[in-house]
Amino acid sequence: MAARRRSPGPGGTATHLGEALPLERKLALYRWMRLTRTLEERLVALYRQTKVVGGLFRSLGQEADAVGSCFALESRDVMSPLIRNMGAMLVKGATPVEILKQYMAKADSPTRGRELNIHFGDIGPAGTTRGFLGQISPLGDMVPVMAGVAMSFKARGEDRVGLVYVGDGATSTGAFHEGINFAAVQRLPLVVIIENNGYAYSTPTSKQTAAAQFVDKAIGYGVPGEQADGNDVLAVYDVTKRAVDRARAGEGVTLIELMTYRRKGHAEHDNQSYVPAGEIERWAAENDPIDRYVRVLTEREKVPVATLAEIDAGVAAEVDEATEIAERSGTPAPLDALEGVYADPPRERPLWFREGADVSGLGQERPEGWGTWDAGKGGAR
Amino acid sequence: MAGTEITYLEAIREAIDEEMARDPEVFLLGEDIGAYGGAFKVTDGMLAKYGEARVIDSPISEIAIVGAAAGAAHMGMRPVVEMQFIDFIANAYDMLTNYVATARYRAFLPCPMVVRGPSGGYVRGGPFHSQNPEAGFIHTPGLKVVYPSTAEDAKGLMKAAIRDDDCVLFFEHKYLYRRIKGVMPAGDHVVPIGKARTARVGTDVSIITYAATVHKALEAAEKLQAEDGLSVEVIDLRSLAPLDDEAIVATVRKTNRVLIVHEDTRTGGIAGELTARINETCFAHLDAPVLRVTAHDIPLPYAPALEDFVLPQVDDIVLAVRRLAAW
């Protein structure tokens, strides 16, 4: 694994399912990758202006793995992303406006200011929802949850598939193990993608597992395992489409390992001091997924450079417009914090020490004569 | 079956059965719950009646059981999952507290599911088959917690739990499974979550408790009536989250002397929270400090002499009530 990352030359080649996509869809793949990168660059600018309230998580260099894999799903399918799968969320219908509002903790953000960054979702019946389920921060937890989502598809005989992303680090969690094992035993229509980007925060994969490669874990779970070059968007599409097709055909779980590289730190504050010198630069120069795909489109598909430039301009305009819209939104009203912990009761009461709180139920009226202990009478009673 | 006396355990089974018959979205998931019928046979007969699609034997994976239940619940199903012993809910603590409890608030995701399991001691079960881990969960916003002491409440609360739109942790006391019986009220018997029950009416001292110690408190109350002429009120909380503040305040105002009894360990147990609430809301109505009878802060040992020493007993309650009455 480590050797592979130190030599980041283009590895796999796209196979037939990816190559067979019509040009229009191939250009759509390009557009989603470009939108991912441009939107993240905008978020960096907003972060530096302190308009992003919390941390900022980049997927620079991993756009192909997020976009290419989610592109293999149908609109009725459900996907649960990881922090570096903003591209997958965009493919599934999340909008730049939603993402920007979410990062800026706006009142009308998808979670009304309750959750951070791309931790939001939209799931439910097919046709009425876009089909992405927001992650939570404890890693691996979405594997069992998505097994449950897939279990509902199976129970109801619905023609729907689930896809869940984990990082190399999350493969070390109990939740990952229990979730994929459970889904495998139940033969659920679930695709599990391990994005091997070399690092979990600062921890290299060599300290995460003694396995030669993550895809080997598939054998232990009794499911098909496939590995692909995560920086080749068509290869990613190809491997995922095959897994999705198997799931749809009732053949159960597939484990996919996508080989990629995290060029930015865990989050924007991370200075990546733990990365060997030159590693990031080599990946940027030799194996950028967008650069690689531009070459595929222009050289093999004979797409004019002007066509791609036009897409880039459209993306830039979309991100500009989304930023303007998002910045206009206000911040949540403090009392909204008390809404919706439960369906019933619908809201919690503010505590008594908050101005305006209802203290009538406190019952702290002091009865006449109370509070003076009289030893002779054995107390006040 | 109205009119016939059934056990606490059978009452739980009857509730699950009725809800599965009523709502096709209700399904069961857990370890050894199908062909074997569960470690305590709570789900006995369910597989034959409802089939493998609705009575699902899982691997030994509490995280996956709870996580998969959450995912299915998001999609509109109503899972009722079993922890083979409630002690093992610790394995799913992250999934329950970080994922399930926050789902509605952070993501507007409904999570209607029941996590149930045999709980509690007095059964010589040792450290890992006797626990009462409820306090950690009532500390977590987003979860509901119930812990019935009677067969009627076991049935009615289970039906309420399955119908609730949020996650309910349903603690079943294994000491009561076959010792306690009741006649089920006729018809669709649902006990609302969040309402306490007056298990015994009294005027001198209140005991606030729940689960197996309700029966210890009732036994103590009879003894105190007979030997001391004391009139002891016993409040069975039934629901631990949300707590029935009205019932708590009402009994404090009535007797002015309060003993809180629980089988859980002392430090960080629910008695502390109840004491704080009483202090904040009706301090002026107290004639004595609120006292607690709880388990010692000890992992529960196996040997009868040791377990009996660690857990609250009837005589402990009698002693504490006498002390309160004499204050």
Residue A251 — φ and ψ, nearest 5°? -95, 5
Query: ipTM score of the complex?
Result: 0.96
In chain B, the largest separation of any two C-alpha atoms, in whole Å, equals 60
- A342 lies in some domain: no
Chain-chain contact of B281 with A149 (C-beta, under 8 angstroms): no
Is-contact A213 A168, C-beta < 8 A? no
Residue B250 confidence (pLDDT)? 97
Residue A379 confidence (pLDDT)? 45
Residue B3 confidence (pLDDT)? 77
Residue B265 — φ and ψ, nearest 5°? -65, 165
Query: Using CA atoms, how far apart are residues A75 and A1, in angstroms rounded to an integer?
Result: 34
Residue whose entry in the numeric block shows the structure tokens 């009878």: B293
- CA nearest A129 in B: which residue? B75
Chain-chain contact of A149 with B105 (C-beta, under 8 angstroms): no
Tell me which chain B residues have a C-beta less than 8 angstroms from the C-beta of A141: 63, 67, 94-95, 98-99
pLDDT, one tens digit per residue, over B56-91 is 999 999 999 999 999 999 999 999 999 999 999 999
Query: Using CA atoms, how far apart are residues A331 and A316, in angstroms rounded to an integer?
Result: 26
CATH topology identical between B5-183 and B197-325:
yes
Written as one string, the DSSP assignment of A57-98 is ---TT-HHHHHHHHTTS-TTSEEE--TT-HHHHHHTT--HHH
Give the percent of chain A with pLDDT over 90: 87
Fold of B197-325: Rossmann fold (3.40.50)
Average confidence (pLDDT) over A48-67: 97
pLDDT, one tens digit per residue, over A183-242 is 999 999 999 999 999 999 999 999 999 999 999 999 999 999 999 999 999 999 999 999
Residue A16 confidence (pLDDT)? 84
The kind and range of the H/E element at A151 are helix A142-156
A373 DSSP assignment: -
pLDDT, one tens digit per residue, over A259-318 is 999 999 999 999 999 999 999 999 999 999 999 999 999 999 999 999 999 999 999 999
User: Sign of the CA dihedral B163, B164, B165, B168?
Assistant: negative
Chain A (41-60) residues lying within 8 Å, Cβ to Cβ, of chain B: none
- Given a cut of 80, is residue B315 above it in pLDDT? yes
In chain A, the largest separation of any two C-alpha atoms, in whole Å, equals 104
pLDDT, one tens digit per residue, over B181-237 is 999 999 999 999 999 999 999 999 999 999 999 999 999 999 999 999 999 999 999
Position with higher pLDDT, B25 vs A366 = B25
Tell me which chain A residues have a C-beta less than 8 angstroms from the C-beta of B73: 148
Tell me which chain B residues have a C-beta less than 8 angstroms from the C-beta of A144: 61, 63-64, 66-68, 70-71, 95
Domain boundaries along the sequence of chain B: 5-183, 197-325
Chain A (107-166) residues lying within 8 Å, Cβ to Cβ, of chain B: 111, 114-115, 119-121, 123-125, 133-134, 136-138, 141, 143-153, 155
Query: Using CA atoms, how far apart are residues B66 and A338, in angstroms rounded to an integer?
Result: 26
pTM: 0.95
Chain-chain contact of A178 with B110 (C-beta, under 8 angstroms): no
List the CATH code of the domain at B5-183. Answer: 3.40.50.970
- Confidence tier at A15 by pLDDT (50, 70, 90): low
* Residue of A136, A153, A370 with shortest CB distance to B98: A136
pLDDT, one tens digit per residue, over A121-170 is 999 999 999 999 999 999 999 999 999 999 999 999 999 999 999 999 99
CATH number of the domain at A142, please.
3.40.50.970
Domain that holds residue A78: 2-328
Residue B35 Cα to chain centre, angstroms: 27
- Given a cut of 50, is residue A5 above it in pLDDT? no
- Given a cut of 80, is residue A374 above it in pLDDT? no
**Average pLDDT score over chain B:** 97
Dihedral Cα A220, A64, A45, A203, nearest 10 deg: 30
Residue A1 confidence (pLDDT)? 34
Question: How many domains is chain A built from?
Answer: 1
Strand partners, B7: B181
Active site residue B74: no
Distance from CA of B209 to the nearest CA of A (A): 22
Distance from CA of A252 to the nearest CA of B (A): 16
Token representation of residue B47: 């597989």
Distance from CA of A346 to the nearest CA of B (A): 10
Tell me which chain B residues have a C-beta less than 8 angstroms from the C-beta of A361: 245, 281
For residue B238, give Cα distances in angstroms to A142, A167, B172, B264, B266: 33, 43, 11, 15, 19
pLDDT, one tens digit per residue, over B230-282 is 999 999 999 999 999 999 999 999 999 999 999 999 999 999 999 999 999 99
* Lateral strand order in the sheet of B55-57: B55-57, B26-30, B78-82, B114-119, B168-173, B144-146, B239-241
Tell me which chain B residues have a C-beta less than 8 angstroms from the C-beta of A341: 104-105, 141-142
- A68 lies in some domain: yes
Chain-chain contact of B107 with A150 (C-beta, under 8 angstroms): no
- A39 lies in some domain: yes
Tell me which chain A residues have a C-beta less than 8 angstroms from the C-beta of B203: none
* Residue of B68, B94, B144 with shortest CB distance to A138: B94
* Residue of B61, B74, B284 with shortest CB distance to A366: B284
**Average pLDDT score over chain A:** 92
